[in-house]
Structure 1
Amino acid sequence: MNDMTILPNIEEAMEDARNGKLSPYWQNDLKRECLHRKLSDEERPALSELNCILSETPQWSSEEELCIEMENIGGRVRFCHFWDEHYSMVQLTEDRNGKYSAAYVLDTETTPDVRKVAALQAQKELADCMQVWGVSLLDAPVPEQMKYDSLAEAASHLMQVLNDPEHITG
């Protein structure tokens, strides 16, 4: 039995939603959390209220949210793709010191085919970006690390990870 209430999460989501700042990524995250549990008498009305707010207030996109978060810490988004139809995202960001980070989640509750299609889509978009940036794919495998010194390294790591969508979990 799970005694943890998700009421605080719902209330926090309501606050963000009132400000138009509950991106689809976090909406899906919360929906998913609610699906996997029996909601309490306090949680049910709170969730209804959240859904009302969402129906009345336009929310920013996951991309906008990420860009603003990165700008706030002096960095920038080099590449990102969020899927609204499932809980997946791929992103490559640069911090204010010029170091790069890669992050990705492919929805484990979708079929392997959906993950494969998502990975291919992200790879194609990333390949286009790499051409624009003028960086090429590194031949050698790039191990996962917290921060990369070069855009080529970070992008190559992301490409390599997306080559094997079956082993990406979120």
Structure 2
Amino acid sequence: MGRVEPETENMEPQIVDPENGEALPPGQRGELWLRGPTVMKGYVGYDKATAETLDSDGWLKTCDLCFFDDEGFLYIVDRLKDLIKYKAYQVPPAELEPILQSHPDIADAAVIPYPDEEAGQIPMAYVVIKQGSNINEAAVMDFVAEQVCS
């Protein structure tokens, strides 16, 4: 988290809707785009990668999911490439992992996207249970469902 003025040190930031490229107001989550003289011109010999990373006006798409508050502080929330695309929803693993880790029988957890024909992707969790625990998969799934569906 840090305060970023509209044009700090020759770098111009903006938060953009990743679906349509439109700038978003403070408080709205979107992708952080940067523009300035220190931003790369592209990848040598990789036109496709350059086109995916830079727009025609020189904006670098960071793939960081962020928002500015009303005072100009930048909050980095997650990575767009890490988001799980479940049906029409974007599910951030960074929001599911702390839920799993809050369970008294779980020592650690990591969530990744898993391919699914119907939904596109589904969240899949790897959990490390605490020594002596006999928690099972169904109990973990029920615990998460109670937290995210309430």
TM-score normalised according to structure 2 size: 0.29
Which structure has the greater CA radius of gyration?
Answer: 2
Greater relative contact order (Cα 8 A, min sep 6): structure 1 or 2? Answer: 1
TM-score normalised according to structure 1 size: 0.27
